[in-house]
């Protein structure tokens, strides 16, 4: 079952962008992206919305509720 950390990393890699570039695009630090991708922290709703808009996916997809 996919979860947020796996979906985030997969989407980022599909777009061929690094953690630093993603962080800059959504206004967080590179360290936050790393923590999310390693499952050590979860984003707040504002960050989920920004990520969903950036990747053009639903929040449900991002968090693994739909495929």
Q: Which residue ranges form the domains of the chain, and what is each CATH number?
A: 4-58 (1.10.260.40)
- In 3D, which of 10, 4, 43, 42 has the Cα closest to residue 26? 43
> Cα(42)–Cα(47) distance, rounded to whole angstroms?
9
List CB contacts of 35: < 8 A, sequence separation 6 or more: 41
| CA 7 from centroid of its chain's CA atoms | 7
33-58 pLDDT per residue, tens: 999 999 999 999 999 999 999 999 99
> Above pLDDT 70, what percent of the chain?
97
**What six digits make up the tokens of 39?**
């499952």
């Amino acid at each position: 079952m996919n979860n947020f950390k796996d979906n985030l990393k997969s989407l980022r890699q599909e777009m061929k962008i690094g953690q630093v570039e993603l962080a800059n695009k959504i206004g967080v630090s590179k360290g936050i992206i790393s923590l999310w991708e390693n499952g050590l922290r979860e984003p707040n709703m504002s960050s989920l919305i920004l990520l969903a808009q950036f990747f053009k996916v639903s929040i449900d997809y991002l968090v693994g509720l739909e495929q």
